[in-house]
Structure 1
């Protein structure tokens, strides 16, 4: 499992305005290159973002599904990462004097990546997720 966190100088509402906007997903998720569709219940459980991963002409169509959603507090997602398997990502947002503390955890739950020792998987996931949080921070702070 990989764990990352950062402080964003924006309210939890501002952070969740991005997390809850499925059309903004490719702007802050490393690897997502375009959004093809967002199911109407997004970010409620069962809602899906249909996105592509990679760069043209080597694009792979994939989906991300919302598993749990607590407005302004928590969002848990199931990622389909073909051919690597599935992963789960959770964002927890808590208010702090400077704005919001965002904690992000990610874990592979199926496929070849799930067979890697945690420390090895973290070598790949941790830097990627630092960049995810950096992008989320830039977007949220720009909106305030």
Structure 2
């Protein structure tokens, strides 16, 4: 798995507030273009959000589901983006006091054509994307997204 870790200038509660609002997913996840629907139970295990990936007019509708969750600490996802495939994603949060938290995101392709890209090529691409994802997540948390204002 490709893993990226950043210290964000926001509390773990604020960061979790952004993650827990499925309607904000496309604002911080690089590649997600829009959210079409979010299960009421998000981010509970089994809940899904329905998103589109790509750039208009070349959008693909698919979904991401929660496979594991510990509130304010960990979220495991199965992200789908067919025809590219599926990826397992693990987000972990570690509080560093009231003003910062360490967030890690680990991801790897598990099904589809993306799985056949050699790991030596796949990991750096995922890493670059997820560094930007964490930057966006941090900015949204600092800005008060997710009811944290």
| TM-score, normalised relative to structure 1 | 0.95
Q: What per-residue deviation string (whole Å, max 9, x for no partner) do you get for residues 109-140 of structure 1?
A: 11121122322111210100011001001111
Following superposition, the deviation at residue 84 of structure 1 comes to 1.4
Query: What are the equivalent positions in structure 2 for 1:31-46 lying under 5 Å apart?
Result: 31-46=31-46
Structure 1 match to 2:68? 68
Once residues 5 and 30 of structure 1 are traced to their aligned partners in structure 2, the CA distance between those partners, rounded to angstroms, is 16
Which structure shows the higher strand fraction? Answer: 1
Once residues 12 and 130 of structure 2 are traced to their aligned partners in structure 1, the CA distance between those partners, rounded to angstroms, is 19
Structure 1 match to 2:8? 8
Matched, 1:91 2:126: no
Once residues 29 and 10 of structure 1 are traced to their aligned partners in structure 2, the CA distance between those partners, rounded to angstroms, is 18
| TM-score, normalised relative to structure 2 | 0.92
Number of residue pairs matched by the alignment? 144
Q: What per-residue deviation string (whole Å, max 9, x for no partner) do you get for residues 83-110 of structure 1?
A: 1111011100001145100010001111
Once residues 116 and 6 of structure 2 are traced to their aligned partners in structure 1, the CA distance between those partners, rounded to angstroms, is 28
Structure 2 match to 1:122? 123
RMSD: 1.2
Matched, 1:78 2:78: yes
Once residues 34 and 85 of structure 1 are traced to their aligned partners in structure 2, the CA distance between those partners, rounded to angstroms, is 18
Structure 1 outlier segments of 4+, above 2 Å: none
